[in-house]
Amino acid sequence: MTFVTDPLSGHAEASETAVAPDVDDVDVVIVGAGFSGLGVAALLDKAGIRSFRILEAADDLGGTWRDNTYPGCGCDIPSPLYSYSFDQKSDWSRLFAGQPEILDYLRDVARRRGLIDHIRFGQRVSHARWTEADSRWEVTSSHGDRYRARFLISAVGPLHHPAYPDVPGIDTFDGPVFHSADWRHDVDLTGKRVAVVGTGASAIQFVPAIVDQVSALTVFQRTPPWIVPKADRPFDSRHRRLARWVPPYRWWVRERLFWIHENRAAGFVSDPGAMAQTGALARTLIERQVSDPRLRATVTPNYAIGCKRLLISSDWYPALSRPHVDVRPGGVAEARPGAVVGDDGVEVEADVVVYGTGFDAQNTIRMDITGRDGLTLAEAWAEGNQAYLGTSVAGFPNMFLMIGPNTGLGHNSQIFMIEAQARYVVDILRRLRRRGADSVEVRPEVQRDFNDWLAGRMVDTVWQSGGCRSWYQDPRSGRNTVLWPDTTIAFWRLTRRARLSDYHLRSR
Ligand SMILES: Cc1cc2nc3c(=O)[nH]c(=O)nc-3n(C[C@H](O)[C@H](O)[C@H](O)COP(=O)(O)OP(=O)(O)OC[C@H]3O[C@@H](n4cnc5c(N)ncnc54)[C@H](O)[C@@H]3O)c2cc1C
């Protein structure tokens, strides 16, 4: 028997379990070093909980902003808002920062806060198993490296696994084929005939960025997106000086942007009439930027605005209007050597195929997680992903999810939600310490009631009633398991202080 001082409880406790020397034993294992993993790590550190490890599958941090390096990649929420409140950056170069600048920001936060020393790179977590006897998670990477922790925080990202369409014959296509999230920078597109599959948030960024380079561009569009103008602009030196030296000014900019976005929630969730102005803006954009009536008809959606992700761009329609660009309604039915064939049977010659087909937002946690009594997360979610506040799952003690089910956003910055969740988790950990409890698990009835409430809220949202199908919905049930159906302030209120009566607390 060994005596160790438990950093969370502060007490010396006896450990019966002989820990193998090759097992890294910490209080908290965080899986993923993107905005979520780094955010929760930063707040743990601030709370004095320093025994944590961040396991990251890749060789670098950054998540979304490490992987998506396609031309034109950037945020579509203004950068002063797309950053942690506790680490605001005063010198963003422009209103909507590009991918390199956001990645630099995250690297800088991790470096300044000493988080890099906590990260183990190249550690793709494959298994995590709860052991009731000693209230620990046993975590294993795909290389067989082992970790033990009291708490497991999954921060694996909502949009991490690229979605690939099933294109028969794609193996016979003799040119490069790649996804926007895995951009082939070694492929020179100059003078090439490029077929782009998909017209989602990534495609509307990279198509305008490559259109001048290629000789022909065919865009296969299943469903046109609704798009509003992007009011991007560089920040001048006066703004940057003020943001740097006058913190109230920086907060004021952030807050103003926050409320502009927050006020949009009603249009998605409860008051379709509130979308009228946005709809008019989107229609005017098409009228102003697309003069060809055939193209206008092709790019005008036939579902309610907001039903699918609302996009922002001022250069998408001008790109599609170029003479060497062809927008073909429908998807790709098959590929042949040197060509792709649309759903309409028309063959289009191409040298390169680029998928702008987005991500699998349903099957995001690709780890085998086994909770109490041998229950696996796959079993618990057999009928669809669900959690309490998108964070805790009944049957899985001491486990927390970042951007779990129904915490995604269509109207405001995801970083606000990440921070709310991270504070909530840290609050629970600190209060467990005070109470001397070893494990915490959400009560099943609390989770059920919460999900009943979610289902009720969802009915009248534009996402469910707007006449479209989207990646927000579980294809099995049609249920929206991705988005938060309320304001971000409402989520903040619910997570500001954890209600411990929602949980079973256990002591050994
Ligand atoms: C192109 C693009 C643009 C976006 N723009 C915006 C925007 O403007 N505004 C906005 O609010 N949101 C935006 N988003 C959403 C964005 O994903 C989130 O805002 C945020 O970056 C998510 O951070 P995360 O840390 O939760 O996930 P990620 O950034 O995806 O990070 C997850 C990390 O976990 C790692 N990981 C995954 N599985 C494992 C495993 N089994 N073991 C170990 N490590 C693992 C991954 O390698 C990755 O590093 C955008 C998304 C994309 C794809």
User: 170-225+308-355: which CATH architecture?
Assistant: 3-Layer(bba) Sandwich (3.50)
Residue 188 pLDDT > 50:
yes
Residue 4 pLDDT > 70:
no
User: Could you tell me the pLDDT band of residue 20, with boundaries at 50, 70 and 90?
Assistant: low
Sequential DSSP letters for 375-430: -BHHHHTTT----BTTTB-TT-TTEEETT-TT-B-SSS-HHHHHHHHHHHHHHHHH
Looking up tokens 């969740």, which residue turns up?
Answer: 421
User: Could you tell me the pLDDT band of residue 271, with boundaries at 50, 70 and 90?
Assistant: confident
Token duo for residue 251: 């907060």
Nearest by Cα to 151 from 430, 418, 416? 430
Q: By alpha-carbon position, which residue is closest to atom 16 of ligand 1?
A: 64
Residue range 194-251, pLDDT digits in tens: 999 999 999 999 999 999 999 999 999 999 999 999 999 999 999 999 999 999 999 9
Q: Is the CB of 474 under 6 A from ligand 1?
A: no
Distance in Å, CA 191 to ligand 1 centroid? 33
Token duo for residue 363: 């099957």
What pLDDT, on the 0 to 100 scale, is given for residue 229? 97
Q: By alpha-carbon position, which residue is closest to atom 49 of ligand 1?
A: 63
Token duo for residue 462: 């534009």
Compute the distance between CA of residue 406 and CA of residue 403 in angstroms, rounded to an integer.
Answer: 8
Q: Is the CB of 410 under 6 A from ligand 1?
A: no
What pLDDT, on the 0 to 100 scale, is given for residue 7? 40
Say if residue 317 is exposed, middle or buried (CB neighbours under 10 Å; 0-12, 13-18, 19+): buried
Compute the distance between CA of residue 34 and CA of residue 66 in angstroms, rounded to an integer.
Answer: 9
Distance in Å, CA 434 to ligand 1 centroid? 33
Q: Is the CB of 32 under 6 A from ligand 1?
A: yes
2-7+25-161+361-501 matches 170-225+308-355 in fold: yes
What pLDDT, on the 0 to 100 scale, is given for residue 273? 83
> For the chain, which residues make up each domain, given as ranges?
2-7+25-161+361-501, 170-225+308-355
* Nearest ligand 1 atom to alpha carbon 403: 26
Token duo for residue 185: 């920078």
* Nearest ligand 1 atom to alpha carbon 123: 43
What pLDDT, on the 0 to 100 scale, is given for residue 498? 96
Q: Is the CB of 202 under 6 A from ligand 1?
A: yes
Distance in Å, CA 39 to ligand 1 centroid? 12
* Number of residues that make up the chain: 508
CATH, domain 2-7+25-161+361-501, list 3.40.50.300, 3.30.70.260, 3.40.1410.10, 3.50.50.60:
3.50.50.60
Distance in Å, CA 386 to ligand 1 centroid? 19
User: Could you tell me the pLDDT band of residue 272, with boundaries at 50, 70 and 90?
Assistant: confident
Look up residue 484 and give its amino acid: W
- Out of 66, 83, 159, 419, give the residue to mutate to test ligand 1, the one with the largest number of ligand atoms within 8 Å of its CB: 159
Distance, C-alpha 60 to centroid of its chain:
17
- Out of 38, 40, 53, 64, give the residue to mutate to test ligand 1, the one with the largest number of ligand atoms within 8 Å of its CB: 64
Q: By alpha-carbon position, which residue is closest to atom 19 of ligand 1?
A: 414
Nearest by Cα to 198 from 318, 112, 309? 309
Distance, C-alpha 140 to centroid of its chain:
24
Average pLDDT over residues 71-75: 98
Compute the distance between CA of residue 10 and CA of residue 508 in angstroms, rounded to an integer.
Answer: 16
C-alpha dihedral sign at 368, 374, 380, 382: positive
Question: Judging by DSSP bridges, how do beta strands 352-355 and 339-342 pair with one another?
Answer: unpaired
Q: By alpha-carbon position, which residue is closest to atom 8 of ligand 1?
A: 75
Residue range 331-375, pLDDT digits in tens: 999 999 999 999 999 999 999 999 999 999 999 999 999 999 999
Distance in Å, CA 94 to ligand 1 centroid? 21
Distance in Å, CA 424 to ligand 1 centroid? 20
Residue range 426-451, pLDDT digits in tens: 999 999 999 999 999 999 999 999 99
Compute the distance between CA of residue 306 and CA of residue 466 in angstroms, rounded to an integer.
Answer: 8
Token duo for residue 53: 């490890």
Sequential DSSP letters for 315-353: SHHHHHTSTTEEEEES-EEEEETTEEEETTS-EEE-SEE
Q: Is the CB of 110 under 6 A from ligand 1?
A: no
Average pLDDT over residues 259-283: 91
Distance in Å, CA 35 to ligand 1 centroid? 7
Looking at residue 32, what DSSP letter applies? -
Give whole-number Cα distances, 234 to 61, 79, 93, 104, 239, in Å: 27, 11, 6, 18, 10
What pLDDT, on the 0 to 100 scale, is given for residue 15? 39
Question: Judging by DSSP bridges, how do beta strands 177-179 and 193-197 pair with one another?
Answer: unpaired
